[in-house]
Amino acid sequence: MTALGTISGTAATSAVGGIGAVAVRQVNQRGVCVRQRKTDYGTIILHWTFVAAFAVALVTGLRIATETPDRTWLNWFDAVLPRGSAWVAHMQAAIVLVSVAIGYVVYMLRSGLGRRVQLDKVRVRGLFRRGQVRLSAMIAMMYWIFFVTMSVLLISGGLLYFGFYSGYDVAMLHWVGTWVILAFVVLHVLTQYKSGGVAQLLRIFRPAPLPAPPPRLDAAELLGMLAEQSARAAEFANFGAPPKVPSHPLQPHTEARHDRTRDDRPRGSGPAPRSRNPTLQANAFVVAVAAAFTGASLLVATDRLTVDSVQIRRINPADAPVLDGDTSDRAWRSVKPFSLLTGEGGNFDGKGEARIEIRAVHDGTYAYFLFTWQDATRSLKQLPLVKEADGWHLLHSGFQLGDEHQYNEDKFSVLLTTMDVTLAGGRTFHPGPQPVANAPATMSGRGLHYTEAGYADVWQWKATSGAAGWMDDAHFGPPLDPTPMQAANVVPYKGGFATDPGTANYRDNFAVEADASGGARRSRLVAPLRLPKVVAATTDAMGDIDLDPNHGESDGARWFMTDQDSVPYSTDADALIPIGTVIPGVILGGEFSGDRADVRCAARWASGLWALEVKRRLDTTSKFDVPIRSGVFMRVAAFDHSQIRHTRHVRPIRIEVE
């Protein structure tokens, strides 16, 4: 290789020393001058601040991901994942990461270190060479892959948080980017070790002052360096030692730089060139820190000033909407909807996302809401039963674990709270397979809803069970004592979730009993409890029966039986029912009562859209309910034939009552 080829080839190795590499000369016991590799203070501080923030973001992000359908395998790392305030810590770490990213950019520009990772033609050509040249070119390329991926992570995280686009594609991009960064960390350590051994790895622990940036090379200096390198190679050849490569291949050795600092220009050649401002050079890190704090402050201020809110307009009682699922009421036409995209749910065509629109009015006594959301299918099949040759079977997939995600009715949930909630699940949800230390672990591997004190108001609409016109009024409170069946893992423990006092008008058409046979399951289903009086009439009421859980029901279908059109189970009545018959898994009878009956509703599905009209008193005076007034926070969630895999949004919605 020619001397010129050597210089151009080693230009690709500038990334080997790291972004802030500094070489310090020392003399060993044999009197030979060796170089102890160090890194400037600014790079070390920014590096370890980033590492700490990313570690927090990683473990909290993985904990959050355990609640995403089909990612409960992450519970294998439960021992190292945080249990409380995962969302809060994740967002705080994100703010630090954004700040460090801003600081890094400013620091590299101010200190002149940006040239160390510059992707120029020389480095690109180094990818096709051999040995250390290729390795250093690969390191530089890895840095840029890291920069791009980290930018994608921060941008996608911002989109998910602020709700500009919180759908499946952005969430998946955020998920994949996390694993790319983890892969980079491993490769970064390995390539740094390969390039300089343990000394190269230890330099990030050895601080040194920031050196002055090298001057850019010109043709005359390049020729001088060629001659200098040739002479040095010959000198070391006499001693049988290899030539020493400087920390930055395109800059001369320290003593050579010092030699060139002497004014050996011809007299009368003009004034000396102006050097870089020493104040900016010395304070590059201070400038970077100031920029980082400014960026963090702007981010926090943006979060505070862009609060999602729903305006509840006042109307004349005569203009109150009729609860029939029809969105054409005058009250709704005059209200601008609040729209948000929710994600991370189950089903919904495999993407787990649904756009929800909210309209709200009040007449001084009652508040009225219109919720509309996207759902391609009308799912009414709530745990139906089918008769086979060996008896009745309940169609389900995960019900015994509390995570039915196929044969379940569509649902919609609303949460109201006066707690200081700023992030998803703040103060009401606790992730992990066993969030309550002295209570049973969750059978599904997912977290539990409960509060440390007080109550959060929860309304649940169910497409089949709520067909009679009520939303089930429930609440999240402090963790409840497990029942004997829950303690034995026969049925799932529900944490602090409970219905308000009162009764409902729906019940399951089967019972769950303990199974003492010693099998893998600790529960068994006794079904059915009631049979249709007239099988043909019940079958007709169910419409076109299609047991594919991803197919919806026909218009006007009814997948429940009433007490009037059914009879208690008996072997004689069962013997009259042919094999292959499908009957509903829900029985309706009576009415809601007590606090549980506070929320009335009506729903209608058409053309891939559910419309749910809701009515409730502004203040029910129940200790389990939250008054509807300005400053109350709301959350909404949609379920697509799923028991617990609902969509979610990160930031709460603030209610403003006119």
| Interval 216-227: pLDDT, tens | 656 566 667 677
Which residue bears the tokens 């490569």? 245
> Integer distance in angstroms from the first to the last C-alpha of the chain?
81
Q: Which residue has the higher pLDDT, 115 or 372?
A: 372
Which residue bears the tokens 């009878």? 589
Peptide bond preceding 478: is omega within 30 degrees of 0, i.e. cis?
A: no
Calculate the average pLDDT of the chain. Answer: 84
Q: Stretch 442-467: mean pLDDT, rounded?
A: 90
Q: What's the pLDDT score for residue 4?
A: 36
User: Domain 3-222 classified CATH 1.10.3470?
Assistant: no
Q: Do 42 and 28 touch, CB atoms closer than 8 A?
A: no
Q: What's the pLDDT score for residue 84?
A: 74
Query: Which residues belong to CATH 2.60.40.1190 in the chain?
Result: 308-657
Q: Angle 89-90-95 (CA atoms, 0-180°, nearest 5)?
A: 95
How many whole angstroms separate alpha carbon 38 and alpha carbon 23? 6
How many whole angstroms separate alpha carbon 559 and alpha carbon 427? 36
Q: Angle 646-647-649 (CA atoms, 0-180°, nearest 5)?
A: 135
3-state secondary structure of 363: coil
Q: Which residue has the higher pLDDT, 595 or 651?
A: 595
Return the CATH number of 308-657, one of 2.30.40.10, 3.30.70.260, 3.30.465.10, 2.60.40.1190. Answer: 2.60.40.1190
Which residue bears the tokens 């003593």? 255
Q: What's the pLDDT score for residue 138?
A: 86
Query: Which residues belong to CATH 1.20.950 in the chain?
Result: 3-222
- pTM metric for this prediction: 0.81
Both tokens of 56, joined, read 């927090």
Please check the confidence at residue 114 and state whether its pLDDT lies above 90.
no
- Using CB atoms within 10 A of its CB, is residue 604 exposed (0-12), middle (13-18) or buried (19+)? middle
Please check the confidence at residue 257 and state whether its pLDDT lies above 90.
no
Q: What's the pLDDT score for residue 252?
A: 40
Q: Which residue has the higher pLDDT, 604 or 8?
A: 604
Q: What's the pLDDT score for residue 464?
A: 93
Q: What is the pLDDT of residues 412-446, one digit of tens each?
A: 999 999 876 555 566 788 888 888 888 998 888 88
What is the percent of the chain with per-residue pLDDT over 70, rounded to a whole number? 82
Q: What's the pLDDT score for residue 215?
A: 63
Q: What is the pLDDT of residues 121-132, one digit of tens each?
A: 777 787 788 888
Q: Stretch 500-516: mean pLDDT, rounded?
A: 88
Task: With CA atoms as reference, report the closest residue to 408 among 568, 636, 646.
Answer: 646
